């Protein structure tokens, strides 16, 4: 369901997609979007965490650019998504993520995919109230290496990701040798069904590692 939250950064009211936990509740998780907005993929990820016992909230981080921002996966959509990311200051995104954390009962975790992978890192570094985080193929993490995570975080990358060379992954490892970095025999976006790089085995393993990580930091 859609909910409205208010950012402590600037008082802006933005939309978010929420799935409440099914069965025995384990906590809450903020699910940060790809550059395309709150897509069916992000809603499916929320449902996945909901089925595992987590209240899941995915903030529409580009609502100030366009309310309910949604872009396709074609070249035009990629262009729109990149422009929206560039128009979204990190401090603003951190405020929106904080609003989501504050809307959940603890323990609260953060995860995200592509752009959202970097947002999971950002939340781990700048937000309060998190227990742990897990970032999936976040290229922009390399622009955030000056922001040290304050909570345990793990990272997932595709070994064959054309947009994130292994040299960039190695920079993250060098800067933060204690952060577990997992490589998968896959490309970028391996968690998104319908993507040319979708790889179910890698997705399932990365998600299980994420759940295990969260459970280890309750």
Task: Name residues whose C-beta falls within 8 Å of residue 198's C-beta, 6 or more positions apart in sequence.
Answer: 189, 190, 191, 192
| Burial environment of residue 209 by CB neighbours within 10 A (0 to 12, 13 to 18, 19 or more) | middle
Which residue ranges make up each domain of the chain? 2-215
Class of domain 2-215: alpha beta
At which residue do the structure tokens 């128009």 appear? Answer: 87
- DSSP-assigned states of every residue in the chain: -EEEEE-TTT--EEEEEEE---SS--EEEEEE-BTTBS-HHHHHHHHHHHHTTEEEEEE-TTTTTSTT-B--SSHHHHHHHHHHHHTS-HHHHHHHHHHHHHTSPSSEEEEEETHHHHHHHHHHHH-SSEEEEEEES-GGGGG-TTS--SS-EEEEEETT-TTS-HHHHHHHHHH-TTS-EEEESS-TTTTSTTSTT--HHHHHHHHHHHHHHHHTT-
Is residue 7 a contact partner of residue 96, using CB atoms and an 8 Å limit?
A: yes
Residue 14 main-chain phi, psi, to 5 deg? -125, 160
State the pTM of this model.
Answer: 0.97
Could you report the per-residue pLDDT of 43-59, keeping only the tens digit for each?
Answer: 999 999 999 999 999 99
- What pLDDT shows up at residue 209? 98
**At 67, is the pLDDT very low, low, confident or very high (cuts 50, 70, 90)?**
very high
Could you report the per-residue pLDDT of 148-207, keeping only the tens digit for each?
Answer: 999 999 999 999 999 999 999 999 999 999 999 999 999 999 999 999 999 999 999 999
- What pLDDT shows up at residue 197? 94
């Amino acid at each position: 369901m859609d909910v409205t939250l208010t950012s402590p950064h600037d008082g802006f009211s933005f939309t978010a997609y929420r799935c409440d936990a099914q069965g025995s509740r384990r906590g809450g998780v903020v699910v940060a979007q790809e550059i395309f907005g709150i897509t069916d993929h992000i809603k499916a990820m929320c449902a996945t965490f909901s089925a595992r016992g987590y209240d899941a909230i995915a903030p529409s981080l580009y609502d100030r650019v366009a309310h309910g921002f949604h872009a396709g996966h074609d070249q035009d959509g990629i262009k729109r998504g990149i422009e929206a990311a560039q128009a979204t200051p990190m401090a603003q995104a951190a405020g929106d993520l904080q609003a989501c954390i504050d809307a959940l009962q603890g323990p609260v975790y953060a995860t995200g995919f592509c752009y959202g992978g970097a947002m999971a890192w950002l939340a781990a570094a700048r937000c309060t109230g998190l227990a742990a985080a897990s970032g999936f193929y976040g290229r922009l993490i390399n622009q955030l290496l000056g922001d040290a995570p304050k909570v345990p975080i793990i990272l997932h990358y595709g070994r064959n990701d054309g947009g994130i060379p292994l040299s960039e992954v190695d920079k993250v490892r060098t800067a933060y040798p204690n952060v577990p970095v997992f490589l998968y025999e896959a490309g970028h976006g391996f968690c998104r069904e319908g993507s040319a790089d979708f790889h179910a085995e890698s997705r399932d393993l990365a998600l299980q590692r994420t759940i295990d990580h969260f459970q280890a930091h309750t």
